[in-house]
Amino acid sequence: MSEPLVLGIETSCDETGFALVRGRELLADVTASSMDEHARFGGIVPEVASRAHLEAFVPTLDAALDAAGCRLEDVDAVAVTAGPGLVGSLTVGLAAAKSLALALDRPLYGVNHVIGHIAVDELVHGAFPDHFVGLVVSGGHTSLLEVRDIATDVVELGQTLDDAAGEAFDKVGRLLGLPYPGGPHVDRLSQQGDRTAIRFPRGLSRGKDAVRHPYDFSFSGLKTAVARYVEGVEDAGEELPAADVAASFSEAVADVLVSKTLAACQRTGTRTVVIGGGFSANSRLRELAAERGAVHGIEVRIPPIRYCTDNGAMIAALGSAMLRSGVAPSAAGIPADSGMP
Ligand code: KG4
Ligand code: ZN
């Protein structure tokens, strides 16, 4: 008998995503985004995002079913993001997913969005090894995970104590006068700069801080250092070497992310790293992780960029893994948990 067909639904932020997955095979993945509506505000407006999910829900679901060549009745289980995320956005997805599960009389799985960012890699690079380290980096999260079973055994080794990596990039983008969200713009600009031009701090990687927080991150000091540097140049009436700032800043972020991830591999005795989340689109992170992973004999798995940003495939992948591991379905009344750890 073939494996169950899982419908994955993602609405935790500004993307409305639907995907159909059978086992570890991705049949369709369709995403609508309301980012254009938020860009002019310089940040996500929660009410706008919630309404956009409501409007995009049915057309995006239909598009995903069409792309997979299946009908709603063919779905064997419904997986939906239960948290973390914007409570209004999560509520739209959860309410609709509950209705679908009820109407179809199928089990409902509320899943963790952050873990989904890692789970999606199974659809691309195949089954995970028995034990590995996951790094989730996005606009909202920077977490280092030790994984034995993606559905049942994920332990957080560390996380950011202040800004997420993507958030720090967005703030530096603003300092450099780039459009929102600044991450991809800073990345592009950094490719024309000298990454050794300015030595920016690597948060929590030296002295007592490093001992107390071996796998935690801190990017707010780095962001402040960039702000001070920009101010200093402006006060001196000099021209800002924006590409060098972008490159040196990117280097500092990638360096600390990769160093701590490889240190976690060493401590846990694992040979594989899986990186996910919107920030894993970052070119320097990809480069440095591959480079240093090769030196240490660690396999580095990063899904293609379209599966790094928020999408339904990550949720369907995790739902599918939960079914495989025999996890019980969620209660019918499962709430939105915007602060889910
Ligand atoms: O995972 P994601 O799509 O949404 C969240 O769950 O947060 O991540 C988006 C974040 C934004 O902060 C964006 O600026 C950043 O990832 N980002 C990048 C790049 N592409 C996206 N940051 C640096 N370099 C990139 N290439
Ligand atoms: Zn995300």
Spatial CA neighbour of 27 closest among 80, 63, 81: 63
Give residues with Cβ within 8 angstroms of 248, minimum separation 6.
Answer: 193, 194, 195, 196, 197, 198, 199, 200
Listed residue (61, 81, 80, 60) closest to 72, CA to CA: 61
183 labelled ligand-binding: yes
Instruction: Pick the closest to residue 276 from 84, 163, 111, 114 (CA basis).
Output: 114
133 and 214, same structural domain? yes
**In terms of DSSP H, where are the helices of 19-112?**
35-39, 46-68, 87-104
Q: Per the annotation, does 34 bind a ligand?
A: no
What pLDDT is attached to residue 1?
A: 64
Q: Kindly state whether residues 85 and 111 are assigned to the same domain.
A: yes
CATH of the domain at 282: 3.30.420.40
Tell me whether residue 50 is in a domain.
Answer: yes
Considering only CA atoms, which of 13, 23, 9, 97 is closest in space to residue 309? 13
Q: How far apart are CA 145 and CA 30, in angstroms?
A: 28
User: Atom 22 (ligand 1): residue with closest C-alpha?
Assistant: 183
100 with 58, same domain?
Answer: yes
Q: Please tell me whether residues 86 and 218 are part of one structural domain.
A: no
- Is 338 a domain residue? no
Strand ranges (DSSP E) for the chain? 5-10, 15-22, 25-33, 77-83, 108-112, 132-137, 142-149, 153-159, 272-276, 299-301
| Span from the CA of 53 to the centroid of ligand 2 (angstroms) | 15
Does residue 100 sit in the same domain as residue 222? no
Report, as ranges of residue numbers, the positions in the chain whose pLDDT lies below 50.
none
Q: Which ligand is nearest to the CA of 31?
A: 1
* Domain span holding position 80: 5-120+311-324
Q: Of 302, 321, 279, 314, nearest to 29 (Cα)? A: 314
Indicate the number of domains in the chain: 2
Same domain, 320 and 297: no
Quote the ligand 1 centre to 8 CA distance (angstroms).
Answer: 21
Look at residue 244 and tell me if it is in a domain: yes
Q: How far is the CA of 227 from the centre of ligand 2 (A)?
A: 26
DSSP labels, 94-114: HHHHHHHHHHHT--EEEEEHH
- Ligand 1 centre and the CA of 196: distance in Å? 24
pTM beyond 0.90: yes
Same-domain status, 169 and 91: no
Nearest Cα to 96, choosing from 336, 339, 337, 338?
Answer: 336
Which residue type sits at 317? A
Is 332 a domain residue? no
What is the predicted pLDDT for the residue at 91?
97
Cβ of 116 closer than 6 Å to ligand 1, yes or no, is no
CB of 281 sitting under 6 A from ligand 1: yes
ipTM of the complex: 0.97
